[in-house]
Amino acid sequence: MAAFLLRRLANRLVPAVLAGSLAYLLAAVALDPRAGYEERAPRPPEAVIDARLSALNLNDRTPLADRYLTWAGGVLRGDLGRTRDGEPVNAELARRLGVSLRLVLTGAVLGCVLGVILGACAAARRGRAADRLITLGSSLLPAVPVFVLAVLLQAAAGKANDVLGVRVFVWVGESTPGTSGGAVGALADRARHLLLPTATIALAQLAVYCRYQRAMMLDVLHSDFVRTARARGLRRRSALLRHGLRTALVPMTAYASYTAGLLLLGAVFTEKIFGWHGVGEWLVDSVARGDVNAVAAIGCVSVCGVLLAGLLSDVLHGVLDPRVRRAA
């Protein structure tokens, strides 16, 4: 198992390095940090602008290869550079990443688990009302963009608050300043703020996993090993859970790694719409400001997130499929 994971890690490292480098190069070519200084009133002298940009490794008059080597050397030392305002990128990234992880991990886990359960249930009840209802829902949800889904949930929550006469749902920011009730009250307030953005990400993930899991389950419903389990006396539900579901989950582990990019994209829109000051909001603001180092750092973190998702899928693949362990 360890040898299998090491091989998979080695295979993923080269594309990850290339993707991180490409993130920096695209940001350095496409963004214009000089414009932010030139638009100030009064405008600083050209020499002052050049000196400031050079100190931050943002000077577009420095050859791109030199800027890339300076940035890459800093990354190898664990230094992601400084923002356009001169603040360390590492500190801001750590703060923002903590905010995003609370949102993304919760939504991803809920969406994955519920999608797998609903997909398996739909396949087991193929042709029945439950199957048709789940299939319809999982077909409609992917057609709704994440930002539209977020707005719809906000509208529904607002209507629910009006009907109940109590502000049950809140969705702006991470918490309400000055919340009473001590630690318990603060925790409950954070949970209320987390509910709608988490539901947005979870619903987007749920639809994708549900359709794929249903298709995988349908492939194994009438497989020889399921029929053999039934012939040995297992009931249909037990045979499907113990043998069919486990086999159908194996391709889902590979599929999960490919949805990591979609998950990160959905988090960008979700954070911006719900006022969460995480990595997604920072990315949008940094692109608007031409902050090359910040955008490159977020790109590197996204690459690492996809890499970790791939390694997690490899671990789950090895746990679910004994052939992987034997081959390793």
CA dihedral 285, 85, 75, 12 (to 10 degrees): 0
DSSP letters, 30-83, are H--HHHHHHTSSSPPPHHHHHHHHHHTT--TTS-HHHHHHHHHHHHHTT---B-
**Strands, E assignment, the chain:** none
Q: Which domains, and CATH codes, for the chain?
A: 2-327 (1.10.3720.10)
Provide the pLDDT for residue 324. 62
Provide the pLDDT for residue 170. 81
Residues whose CB is less than 8 angstroms from the CB of residue 246 and which lie 6 or more positions away in sequence, other chains included: 320
Interatomic CA distance for residues 240 and 291, integer angstroms: 52
Tokens of 51: 């000196």
Tokens of 120: 């398996």
In the block, residue with structure tokens 């400031």: 52
Residue ranges for the chain with pLDDT beneath 70: 1-2, 4-5, 175-185, 321-328
Residue type, 297: A
Rg (CA), the chain: 24
Interatomic CA distance for residues 271 and 268, integer angstroms: 6
In the block, residue with structure tokens 């006469």: 165
In the block, residue with structure tokens 């789950």: 316
Provide the pLDDT for residue 28. 92
Q: What are phi and psi of 42, to 5 degrees?
A: -75, 155
